[in-house]
C-alpha cells in the first residue's frame, strides 16, 4: 500500500514538472496571449494519473506558481499571475484535469469525448468569465479574444495528450 502511494506521489510530481516545462513552450500571437502546450500538459496529467492524482498535479502546479515559482507560461509565478487576466484559465485547469482523469479507465469513446470536451469547455468558460471580470469587458469580447482563437489548438492538444497517454499507460505502471 505505502509503495503504491509513494509511486503515485512521485508520478504526480513528475507530471507537475512536465506541465511546467510544457507551459514554457510558447508561440506569440497577435492577441498577446501565446499559444502554449499547457492544455496538452493538463490533459496529459488527467489521462495518465486519473482524476485525483491528475488534479493533485494541477493543485501543486498552481500552489508553486502562487508562492512565486515561475511555473506559468512565460516563466511567471506569483499571486499576481493568478489574479491577472488569464488566471481563470489556470484555475480552469483543475476541472479539465479532473474530467480528463475520469476517462482514465473508461474504454467508451463517447465517455472519452464527452468528458474531455466538458473539461475543455469548463476551462475556457471559467477563463473567459475571469478575463471579462478582470478586464472589465463583455463575455463576448473575452471569448473572441482569449478563448475562440485557441479552441482548435486546445482540441488538438487534448486529442494528442490522450493518444500519448494511451501509449504511455501500456508501459508505465499506474497502481490501482
114-171 residue pLDDT tens? 999 999 999 999 999 999 999 999 999 999 999 999 999 999 999 999 999 999 988 8
From the list 100, 13, 28, 27, the residue with the least C-alpha distance to 59 is: 13
Mean pLDDT of 68-80: 96
**CA of residue 170 relative to chain centroid, distance:** 22
- Least confident residue range of 78-82, 108-112, 115-119: 108-112
The answer to whether the beta carbons of residues 68 and 54 sit under 8 Å apart is no
pLDDT of residue 89: 97
Mean pLDDT (the chain, rounded): 93
pLDDT band at 176 (very low <50, low <70, confident <90, very high): very low
Structural domains of the chain in order of their starting residue, each with its CATH number:
2-169 (1.10.1760.20)
Residues with Cβ within 8 Å of residue 172, at least 6 apart in sequence: 11, 48
Q: How confident is the model at residue 55 (pLDDT cuts 50, 70, 90)?
A: very high
Please say whether the beta carbons of 11 and 29 come within 8 A. no
> Based on the number of CB atoms within 10 Å of its own CB, is 131 exposed (0-12), middle (13-18) or buried (19 or more)?
buried
Instruction: Give percent above pLDDT 90 in the chain.
Output: 82
Amino acid at each position: 500500500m505505502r509503495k503504491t502511494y509513494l509511486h503515485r506521489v512521485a508520478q504526480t510530481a513528475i507530471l507537475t514538472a512536465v506541465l511546467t516545462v510544457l507551459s514554457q513552450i510558447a508561440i506569440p500571437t497577435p492577441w498577446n496571449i501565446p499559444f502554449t502546450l499547457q492544455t496538452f500538459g493538463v490533459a496529459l496529467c488527467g489521462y495518465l494519473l486519473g482524476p485525483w492524482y491528475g488534479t493533485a498535479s494541477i493543485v501543486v502546479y498552481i500552489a508553486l506558481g502562487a508562492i512565486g515559482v515561475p511555473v506559468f507560461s512565460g516563466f511567471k509565478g506569483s499571486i499576481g499571475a493568478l489574479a491577472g487576466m488569464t488566471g481563470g484559465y489556470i484555475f480552469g485547469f483543475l476541472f479539465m484535469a479532473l474530467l480528463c482523469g475520469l476517462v482514465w479507465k473508461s474504454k467508451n469513446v463517447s465517455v472519452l469525448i464527452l468528458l474531455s470536451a466538458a473539461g475543455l469547455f469548463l476551462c475556457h468558460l471559467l477563463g473567459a468569465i475571469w478575463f471579462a471580470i478582470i478586464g472589465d469587458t463583455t463575455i463576448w469580447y473575452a471569448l473572441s479574444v482569449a478563448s475562440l482563437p485557441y479552441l482548435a489548438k486546445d482540441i488538438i492538444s487534448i486529442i494528442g495528450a490522450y493518444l500519448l497517454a494511451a501509449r504511455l499507460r501500456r508501459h508505465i505502471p499506474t497502481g490501482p
